[in-house]
Amino acid sequence: MTITAPASAARHSRIHVFRQAFDLSRPYFVSEQKAKAWGLLAAIVALNLAAVFMLVQINEWNRVFYDALQNKQADVFWQQLWRFLWLALAYIVIAVYKFYLTQLLQLNWRRWLTQHMLGRWLAHQAFYRLELGRYGKGSGVPDNPDQRIQEDLNLFSTYTVSLTMGLLNACVTFVSFVGILWGLSSAMDVGLPQLLGGGELHVPGFMVWMAVLYCLVGSAITFWIGKPQVWLNNRQQQLEANFRHHMIRVREHSEAIALDGGERVEGAQLSLRFSEALANYLQLIRKQKNLTWFTNFFGQAAVVFPFVIAAPRFFSGAIQLGQLMQIASAFNQVQDSLSWIVNNYADIAAWRATTNRLGGFDASLHGEESAPESVSLQAGPHTHPYLHAQALEVNLPNGECIMRAGELSVQPGDRLLISGPSGSGKSTLLRVFAGIWPFAKGRVQRPADAMFIPQRPYFPDGSLRDALAYPGTASRYADTALEQALIDAQLPRLVGQLDRQAAWNAVLSGGERQRLAIARVLLKRPAWVFADEASSALDAATEAEVYARLVQLVGERGGALVSVAHRDSVARFHDRRWVLDAETGEIRAVGLSSVMPAF
C-alpha cells in the first residue's frame, strides 16, 4: 500500500490550483478581446516598472537629503526638497494610472468571464442538467452556480490581477534594490559556535542575507499560522450561499409557506443556516487574528531591524546619516518584496478557495459539454413527421430504472393521453421526448415544430406581452394576435394589460398561469403539443374550452396532441392512451373512444 506524504499532497494541491487558474484565465487572453486585454496588461506592467524606477530614485534621494541635514547644507536641503516634489508628483501620477488601468482590466475581464460562463451554463440545458446532477448517486456537482457566476468570477478576476501584479512588482523591486543593498552592505565576520569548529565566517553583503533570512523565517511562520484559512474561506462561501439560497426559496414559495403557516419552520431553518455561517466566520476571524498578530509584529520589527544591524557602522563613523537612511530604505524594499507572501497571505487564501470553487464549476460545465448524449434526439420537420422512440431506458438521477420501452410511436392526427400512478415517470417521459433528460438511453425522433407545456410554467418579470411571447420577442406578433390568444385561453381580463409590468409568476393564480401557458401555445401555433398536467388547476368548463382549442390547433396544423393527466375529464379529448406501470416500468397501449365536444 502506498501512502502519499502530506507534503506531497499539499504540493499537488498547489500545482492543481495553478493549473485551474491557468485554465480559467487563458480563454480571455485568446478571445476576441485579446488585443485590448494584452494592451491593458502591458500598460500595467510598464507602470509597475516605472513605479519601481521612481522608488529607486527616491532611495538615492534619501542619501543626498539626509547627508545635507547632517552636514547642515541649507542650499542642498532646499534643492532636494524641490527634487522630491517632482519625484513625488511623478510617482503619484504613475500610481493613479496604475490603479485605474488595473481596475479597468479587472472590470473587462469580469464582464467577459461572466458572459462566457453564462453562455456555457445556459447552452444545451447545462443549467438544468447540473441541477439534476446534484441529486445523483455520488454527485460531485458544485452547488449554487449563481454564486459561482456572480461572486466568484468577480473575486477571481480581482484577486488574480492584483496578486499577479503585486508579485511582479515584488520581483522587480527585489531585483532593483538587492544590488543597491549589496553595494551599501559591508562584509561582516560572523563568529561560529564551537560545535561548527569555532572561528569566524566572512559574509559579504551581510544586509542582503539578513533580509533573506528575516523573510524566510517570516514566510514559514505565516504558512503555518494561515494554512487553515483556505479551507475556512471555501466553507464560508458555501455556507453563505446556502443561507441566501434558502431565503430565495422562501420568497419563491411565499404563498404556500404562508398558507401552511410554515413561518416558524422556515425561520428555524434560516437561523440554522445563518448560525452555521456565523460559526464558521468566527473560526475564520480567530485564524485571521492569529495571523494579524504575527504580520503586524513582523512589519513593525522590519522598521527598526535594518537600523539595529547598520547602527554599529554609523556610530563608528564608517557611514553617514544619509547612507544609513539609504540602507534602511533599500533593506525595507528588499524585505517588503521578499515578504510578499506574508503581506498577502489572507488574499492568497481567498484566491485559492475561489479558484478551487470556480475550477470545479468549470470542470462540471466541461463535463456537460463533452459528455455524449445518452438519448439520440433528432428533430426535423421534413425527415421526422412523427414521434418515434426506440430502445428507451429511463432512469432517475440516482440510477434507478423507472421505465423501459422497445418502440413507441405517435402519428400525425393522434391525440395521446399518458396516464399512470404518481411517480411512474409520466412527466419524465415528456422530458425524454423534449431531449432534456440526461438519465436515459435510446433514440428519439421528433418533429421540430413542437411546444411543451410544463407543469409549472415560467414567465419572466416584465410586460405581459413579453411573458406571452417568451422565449421569442413580442415585436413579432401584432397586438390583435396577442389579445386573441388570451381570449382563446379564457383570459379576457388580461386583454387590456399587454404593457403592464409585473412578476407574473407571483401575481397570477395557478389556473391563470396554466391558461397563460396555453395562450402562449395558441399564439405560436405549433403542429405538435406536449402538455404536462396543463389543466390540473382549471375547472371542468374552462378545461374543456382550452383543450378543445388545443385539439383544433393540432388538427389544423397536421400534428398531434400528447398529454399527461390524472383527471378522467381530459380523456375524452384523446383517442389513444399509454398507461405506465410503476411496478414493472412497462408502457401499455390502451385504446380510447374519443368524444369531442362541439366548438
Q: Average pLDDT of 445-452?
A: 90
pLDDT for 265 beyond 80: yes
pLDDT for 523 beyond 80: yes
Sole residue written with cell 543626498: 64
CB atoms near residue 214 (< 10 Å): 21
Percent of the chain with pLDDT over 70: 88
DSSP 385: S
User: Helix 74-122 to helix 126-133 angle, to the nearest 10 degrees?
Assistant: 90
Label residue 323 by pLDDT band (50, 70, 90).
confident
Between residues 85 and 589, the one the model is more confident about: 85
pLDDT for 209 beyond 80: no
Sole residue written with cell 477571481: 156
Encode pLDDT of 70-126 as tens digits.
Answer: 788 888 888 888 988 999 899 899 999 999 999 999 999 999 999 999 888 888 778
For residue 595, the model assigns a pLDDT of 42
Q: Average pLDDT of 415-439?
A: 89
- Strand 587-591 and strand 576-580: the pairing is antiparallel
For residue 137, the model assigns a pLDDT of 52
pLDDT for 267 beyond 80: yes
For residue 599, the model assigns a pLDDT of 34
Encode pLDDT of 525-576 as tens digits.
Answer: 999 999 999 998 899 999 999 999 999 999 999 999 999 988 888 888 999 9
Q: What is the CATH number of domain 376-591?
A: 3.40.50.300
Lowest-pLDDT choice from 177-191, 294-308, 416-430: 177-191
pLDDT for 187 beyond 70: no
Which is nearest to 518 in space by CA: 493, 555, 543? 543
Distance linking the first and last C-alpha atoms of the chain:
77
For the chain, how big is the Rg over CA atoms in Å? 35
Domain range list for the chain: 6-192+202-370, 376-591
Question: Residue 166 — φ and ψ, nearest 5°?
Answer: -65, -40
DSSP 564: E
Label residue 296 by pLDDT band (50, 70, 90).
confident
For residue 453, the model assigns a pLDDT of 93
Q: Average pLDDT of 148-163?
A: 89
* Cβ density class 152-170: b for 16+ within 10 Å, e for less: bbbbbbbbbbbbbbbeebb
For residue 5, the model assigns a pLDDT of 40
Label residue 171 by pLDDT band (50, 70, 90).
confident
Kindly report the pTM of this predicted structure. Answer: 0.70
Between residues 207 and 288, the one the model is more confident about: 288
Say yes or no: domain 6-192+202-370 is CATH 1.20.1560.10: yes
**C-alpha angle with apex 83: 82 to 86, nearest 5 degrees?**
90
pLDDT for 320 beyond 50: yes
For residue 592, the model assigns a pLDDT of 62
CA atoms within 13 A on the CB side of 472: 13
d(CA 332, CA 338): 10
Q: Which residues pair with 417 in a beta bridge?
A: 563, 577
Encode pLDDT of 366-382 as tens digits.
Answer: 877 766 655 566 655 44
CB atoms near residue 561 (< 10 Å): 23
Local structure of 103: helix, strand or coil: helix
d(CA 169, CA 54): 13
For residue 551, the model assigns a pLDDT of 95
For residue 295, the model assigns a pLDDT of 76
Which is nearest to 573 in space by CA: 531, 520, 527, 539? 531
For residue 3, the model assigns a pLDDT of 35
Q: How far is CA 105 from CA 29, 91, 113, 210, in A?
A: 11, 21, 12, 37
For residue 490, the model assigns a pLDDT of 94
Number of helices followed by number of strands (H, E) in the chain: 18, 14
Handedness of CA 167, 169, 172, 175 (dihedral sign): negative
d(CA 534, CA 514): 6
Local structure of 357: helix, strand or coil: helix
Contact assessment for residue 100 and residue 53, using Cβ atoms and an 8 Å cutoff: no
d(CA 300, CA 36): 41
pLDDT for 339 beyond 80: no
pLDDT for 142 beyond 90: no
For residue 413, the model assigns a pLDDT of 92
For residue 451, the model assigns a pLDDT of 93
> How confident is the prediction for the chain on average, in pLDDT?
83
Lowest-pLDDT choice from 46-55, 301-310, 576-585: 301-310
- Strand 188-191 and strand 401-410: the pairing is unpaired
For residue 6, the model assigns a pLDDT of 44
For residue 378, the model assigns a pLDDT of 63
Contact assessment for residue 22 and residue 30, using Cβ atoms and an 8 Å cutoff: no
Encode pLDDT of 354-366 as tens digits.
Answer: 888 888 888 888 8
